[in-house]
Copies of this chain bind each other. A is one copy, B any other.
Amino acid sequence: MKGMNETIRTQLEHRTIREFKDQGIPEEVFDLLMEVARRTASSTAMQASSIIRVTDPSIKAEIAGICKQEYVARIPELLIFIVDQYRNSQIAKEKGHSPDYAGDTDRFFSSFTDACLMAQNVVTAAESLGLGTIYLGSILNDTEKMCQLLKLPELTFPVLGLGLGYPNQSPQLKPRMEMRLRVFENAYTFFDSYLDEIKDHDEEMRTYYDLREPEKPVDSFSDQVVSRLKYQNIKRQELLKVARKQGFDLKV
């Protein structure tokens, strides 16, 4: 492919790693990853996102419980990316100003976005160094408990977990639908039959070998969609409620 380089080759090889070697990341590698996080784009350069590095095994175990993924307790390096408007609001206070709008909808979402960008930048850097990664959206299963566990003050909020380490498994590349179904020109594009359009993806997904349940045949993509959308995680509906408790003034 024209334009291919090492960076992009790494990106195209991304897969989720759930089992890691029992070996930490060298501290200088960790520092380099944090330097990448530091240089990530940030809305109006406010740098209003932070990272909690979870090294305490008991906290890791609690997070594994929230995630309902036992292997989370064994992840060598566990990072929680957070919205952080607390730091800047303190800076404003120290300068004698009332940071009235630090918790508004706008700030909540710009910090949330910043935290995500930072996480993906760390993922790419880590993978370029031969590390494996796993995103843990499942930390949002109980945002209130996450806030308590990590002692998150007002104007902060958990966004995304990230596990890092040296891979101890080689999962297959996960099938993906064609991008013509996801990239549209100038306006949203509709298709007459989505089932027809994703036929190949549906088929390919059935041949995917899932290391989590190697004995079990994998559902087609459309069957996965149906079973996912049938199910609602009630606690996860409380995200914005908890964000309000954390001091964000979210208007709906």
Contacts and interface: CB of A to CB of B under 8 A. Distances in A.
A109 B83 CA distance: 14
A181 B88 CA distance: 11
A137 interface: yes
A137 B46 CA distance: 13
Contact of A183 (B10, B53, B125, B233): B53
Contact of A3 (B32, B179, B239): B32
A38 interface: yes
A191 B156 CA distance: 15
Given A44-B224, A54-B186, 10 more contacts: A3-B32, A5-B6, A6-B6, A43-B137, A52-B185, A53-B183, A55-B185, A88-B229, A94-B195, A109-B140
B11 A10 contact: no
Contact of A179 (B37, B110, B194, B225): B37
Contact of A229 (B45, B100, B109): B100
Contact of A45 (B88, B116, B224): B224
A211 interface: no
A125 B6 CA distance: 10
A222 B92 CA distance: 7
Nearest to A4: B32
B120 A40 contact: yes
23 contacts: A2-B32, A6-B7, A8-B36, A11-B124, A35-B179, A44-B228, A46-B224, A47-B182, A50-B182, A51-B182, A51-B184, A52-B184, A52-B185, A56-B186, A92-B226, A94-B195, A95-B225, A100-B229, A106-B236, A113-B116, A117-B119, A121-B124, A241-B251
A235 B104 CA distance: 11
A101 B237 CA distance: 10
A82 to B, nearest CB: 8
Among all A-B residue pairs, the 6 with the closest Cβ atoms = A116-B116, A7-B128, A120-B120, A106-B236, A151-B187, A7-B7
Interface string A94-129: 110101111011100110110011011101110011
B28 A12 contact: no
Interface in A6-48: 6-8, 10-14, 16, 26, 28-29, 32, 34-47
